[in-house]
Structure 1
Amino acid sequence: MRKRVYEYDSATIRQALEQLTDYLGKKHYAPDSIRMYGNYTGYFLAWAERDNLPAREVRYPDLLSYIHHLQDSGRSARQINMMLVAIRHYYTMLARKKQVKKNPASGLILRGVVQAVPSDLLSRDELDQLYERYPVVNLRSARNKIMVGLLVYQAVTTQELSLLRTEHVNLASATLQVPESKRITGQGGLKGRVLKLQASQILPLQEYLTVGRPQILDDISSDRYFYRPTRKPAKIDYEAIQQQLFFSLNGSASIKASLKPLMVDLSKLNPSVKHAKQLRASVITEWVKQYDIRRVQYLAGHNSITSTQRYQSANLEELQEVVSLHHPLQ
């Protein structure tokens, strides 16, 4: 179903939203995120217009009044904070255009929002066992074992798996360079970072890069698909897959279809496994027990320390408690 984009009679609001859409597009926000922020910003601008309050003259006290308006209308704290994010984007845009001196929504967050760390996190031993027990019987499973290692040791996201290139792997220094990922709906992008590889990952990676991956490429180019359960894509982008570290064995540059059966395989090894986000959260929670919070922020690629702090409160007694966001509003 196509998601709704709200329209406004005011030419001023329409022009403002066009500018915001262009600004967010240049910042590489996903279309759904741009639509959501546009709707929330339009709602705010319509409220300000009804109160005869020029948007460029809005100050902090005005935003407090707007928050009370949202609370009175029954909006949840979580949704209000999302609406405040949209307003921050709008005023950041205006500030960069030098149309306002400062962002009145900067640092404005409604207290009481709890972002839950995924439940049923796995222990370090359980994460290790997923990698150690994952069986390698063919080219597909050899590739999958590499991906499992990156999930349970480096806490990469599934989006980052698709962004990895062969040059991002440095076996000599036993490191992986994770590229910066773009923002997607509901969450921000992640910063690029260089992560250490485990000793147990080196040999499988070397064999994959020198033997397995070239064999898969050769099979695709020569149209040998003897281990392929799915159909050959209508068009194979050879240039793309030759650069990617991971790609589908049917020749598709997208590995999305490969990740679903991979998670099924992992759930057979450990029924507690649910999804890749759970694995990432488990690894980050283990990191918090070992390193200082700033180092964990770097390892996880978090743009904000707040994103890392919610894992800080995950402990042996209660892994689902998180740090509340602070603001004078109660």
Structure 2
Amino acid sequence: MTFKNYLLSRGFSTATSESYSKSLLQYTVWTESNQIETEQSTYNEVISYVQHLKNKAIKQRTVQLHMNSLRHYFDWVAKRQLRNDNPTLNINIKGIKRRKLYNIIDKPTLEKIYHGYDIGNLEKQEDENIAKRNKIILGLIIYQGLGTLELNRLEVNDVKLREGKIFVKSSRRSNERTLKLEAHQVLDVMEYTLKIRAELVAENPKGTEQLLITKGTGNHLQNAI
């Protein structure tokens, strides 16, 4: 598997994969010119490369993009068992303005939103099923911190009911992980997985293993969220 294909398998876009591959090529040219073995680069050698980029008056944010590329590259090298560490992990590029987050909702308020989600006595079973699905989505956002893309990519087999956990595939922004479900989520997820999802599929067959089924003909949850 090439580095580019590795990135694609991790969920990166074609454009990002090509950009990171070009960045790696630049690093490879630099290591060869300095008689450094690329795959076995040390922390100090990577730092020297950072200084090399800065000496060329490259913007800090662009330097950070080069480091992002190398971070994934050395992860790939480690997965191929060619080394057991990543020399870029403790390298942070200073001088980059970070976005500030405002109006953060605290945990008690989030839990109040979840427990206050009222399914109620809906007249149609279809609407009740959708409401219960929505509560599953709400719980995964609040307690497991999942985003829209991660919710869309969940499949039935990702739910580990016996363990009370859910598996989340890797994406271009995050690693794969297995997350614990809260006790009060487990029963709702179980009911949805074993009963409600089947009823939604029966109403509108989609031929997909996607966990969270939409009401319409498409498979994307954007409108539902």
Give the Cα–Cα distance (whole angstroms) in 1 for the partners of residues 72 and 18 of structure 2: 13
Is residue 2:222 matched to residue 1:259?
A: yes
In the TM superposition, residue 157 of structure 1 has moved relative to its aligned partner by 3.3
Instruction: Measure the CA separation in 1 of the matches of 2:98 and 2:170.
Output: 21
Provide, for residues 57-111 of structure 1, a one-character-per-residue CA deviation record: whole Å limited to 9, x for no partner.
765554333212322344444442331232344456567475xx78784445035
Partner amino acid for 1:181? K
SS of the residue corresponding to residue 248 of structure 1 reads: coil
Residue aligning to 2:105: 122
1:248 aligns with 2:211: no
Instruction: Report the CA distance shift for 1:158/1:106 in structure 2 as closer, same or farther (over 3 A).
Output: same
2:169 to 166, 169, 181: 181
Whether 1:84 and 2:67 are equivalent positions in the alignment is yes
CA distance 1:80–1:220, change in 2 (3 Å): same
Higher relative contact order (CA 8 A, sep 6+): 1
Is the alpha carbon distance of 1:143 and 1:180 closer, same or farther for their aligned partners in structure 2, counting shifts above 3 Å? closer
1:32-71 superposed matches below 5 A? 32-48=15-31, 52-56=33-37, 60-71=43-54
User: Are positions 1:219 and 2:203 aligned together?
Assistant: yes
Q: 1:128 to 1:42 in 2, by over 3 A?
A: same
Measure, in 1, the Cα distance between the counterparts of 2:217 and 2:16.
30
Matched-pair contact (CA < 8 Å) for 2:3–2:73: yes
CA RMSD between the two structures: 3.7
Equivalent residue of 2:204, what SS?
helix
Output the TM-score relative to the length of structure 1: 0.51
Residue identity in the other structure for 2:175: G
* Structure 1 residues 216 and 73, CA gap change in structure 2 (3 angstroms): same
SS at match of 2:140: helix
* Structure 1 equivalent of residue 156 of structure 2: 165
3-state DSSP of counterpart to 2:37: helix
**TM-score for the superposition, normalised by structure 2:** 0.70
Q: CA deviation at 1:39?
A: 2.0
Identity across aligned pairs (percent)?
19
Residue 191 of structure 1: aligned partner = 177
Counterpart contact for 2:46–2:87, Cα < 8 Å: yes
1:109 is paired with a residue whose SS is coil
CA distance in 2, matches of 1:46, 1:180: 36
Check conservation: 2:143, 2:182, Cα contact below 8 A: no
C-alpha contact (below 8 Å) 1:88/1:103 kept by paired residues: no
Whole-angstrom distance in 2 between the partners of 1:247 and 1:261:
10
- Between the aligned partners of 1:164 and 1:87, the Cα distance in structure 2 is 31
- Letter paired with 1:249: K
Count of residue correspondences: 212
Which segments of 5 or more consecutive residues in structure 2 lack a partner in the other structure? none
Aligned partner letter, 2:166: V
Q: Alpha carbons of 1:80 and 1:55: their partners in 2 closer, same or farther (altered >3 Å)?
A: same
Matching residue's letter, 2:130: R
Q: Is the 8 A contact 2:64 2:93 kept in 1?
A: no
